[in-house]
């Protein structure tokens, strides 16, 4: 059983909406990643930590009605949204199962096991991957997209006090809750320690500068979700963060300094098992 750590982002309706917004910003990255796994029509996919369903729904689009996708998430409430979205798209070939990924009963004939932004929350990711590999068909693929957040610290500068604070507040929460902010870097070691062939790796970070870039609002929404734990861990107060004006102040800092903003970088790892 996965040890019960505090979940950094909380479980509100706003957080579900933020995950959907986040998926739009990373959609290009995730689609390319899914295509690079070799995913195609008729395949069977397992999505670990499926959240509001974005990765599962994109996979469902790619595999089509002759394939099938199973999403697993330990938060049953977010799966209500995931199921509503699947129904709205007319996807009868997607199913969402509530439970801990290391404990739920799963088929053992998946072509692809995938996950995005979930291993960072798993205390023993090698154990989980070892279990998941037993759910693959021979020759099946394991592929995860995870963040490399410590890179963010390289963006700090004397000219960007707001960004500097946001990086420390945000990373501070993840560090206090025990989430692995560098899970992306650790994918190579985790995959190989779990017995998988060395994965192919890639690195991506959406960037923006123009006023209409949705990344400002997305980052503000992220701090709305993080705020209870930022305050609980004494990292900053709600008044200091002032979430309602955060997006505007962030754009102003980017515009004044002409330093474009980067969203959290993600590393993708893809490993195909032997047939």
Ligand X SMILES: C[S@@+](CC[C@H](N)C(=O)[O-])C[C@H]1O[C@@H](n2cnc3c(N)ncnc32)[C@H](O)[C@@H]1O
The residues binding ligand X (CB under 6 A) are 2, 19, 23, 49-51, 54-55, 72-75, 78, 100-101, 116-118, 121-122
Least separation, in Å, of the C-beta of 255 and ligand X? 29
- C-beta of 47 vs 253, nearer to ligand X: 47
- Tell how many helices (H) and how many strands (E) occur in the chain: 9, 9
Distance CA 197, CA 270 (A): 9
In whole angstroms, give the CA distance from residue 16 to residue 22: 10
CB of 111 to ligand X, least distance (A): 19
Nearest to 20 by CA among 107, 97, 82: 82
Contact of 136 with 130, CB cutoff 8 Å = no
Contact 132, 48 (CB under 8 A): yes
Looking at beta carbons only, is 117 or 149 nearer to ligand X? 117
Burial label for 79, CB within 10 Å (0-12, 13-18, 19+), is: buried
Shortest distance, position 91 Cβ to ligand X, whole Å: 16
H runs (alpha helix) in the chain? 13-36, 54-63, 76-88, 125-133, 161-177, 183-193, 215-232, 238-241, 243-257
Q: Nearer Cβ to ligand X, position 60 or 254?
A: 60
Nearer to ligand X, 75 or 273 (CB): 75
Q: Tokens standing for 196? A: 């998988």
Nearest CA to 99 among 48, 44, 56, 57? Answer: 48
Minimum CB separation from ligand X for residue 236, in Å? 22
Q: In angstroms, give the least distance from the CB of 158 to ligand X.
A: 32
- Nearer CB in complex with ligand X: 11/153: 11
State the minimum distance, in angstroms, from the CB of residue 222 to ligand X: 10
Nearest residue (CB) to ligand X, 124 versus 157: 124
In the complex, which residue's CB is closest to ligand X?
Answer: 51
């Amino acid at each position: 059983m996965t040890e019960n750590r505090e979940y950094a982002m909380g479980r509100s309706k706003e957080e579900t909406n933020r995950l959907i917004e986040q998926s739009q910003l990373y959609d290009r990255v995730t689609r390319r990643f899914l295509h690079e796994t070799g995913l195609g029509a008729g395949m069977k996919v397992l999505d670990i930590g499926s959240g509001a369903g974005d990765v599962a729904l994109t996979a469902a689009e790619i595999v089509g009605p002759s394939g099938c996708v199973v999403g697993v998430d330990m938060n049953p409430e977010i799966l209500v949204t995931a199921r509503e979205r699947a129904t709205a798209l007319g996807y009868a070939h997607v199913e969402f199962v509530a439970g801990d990924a290391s404990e739920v009963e799963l088929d053992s004939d998946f072509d692809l096991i995938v996950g995005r932004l979930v291993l960072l929350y798993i205390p023993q990711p090698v154990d989980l991957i070892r279990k998941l590999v037993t759910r693959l068909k021979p020759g099946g693929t394991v592929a995860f997209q995870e963040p490399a957040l410590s890179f963010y610290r390289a963006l700090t500068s004397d000219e960007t006090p707001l960004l500097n604070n946001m990086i420390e507040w945000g990373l501070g929460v993840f560090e206090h809750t025990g989430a692995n902010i560098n899970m992306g870097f650790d994918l190579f070691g985790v995959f190989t320690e779990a017995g998988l062939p060395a994965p192919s790796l890639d690195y991506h970070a959406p960037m923006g500068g123009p006023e209409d870039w949705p990344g400002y609002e997305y980052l503000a929404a992220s701090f709305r979700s993080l705020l209870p734990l930022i305050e609980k861990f004494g990292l900053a107060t709600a008044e200091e963060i002032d979430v309602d004006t955060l997006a505007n102040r962030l754009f102003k800092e980017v515009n004044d300094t002409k330093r474009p903003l980067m969203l959290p970088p993600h590393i993708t790892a893809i490993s195909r098992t032997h047939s």
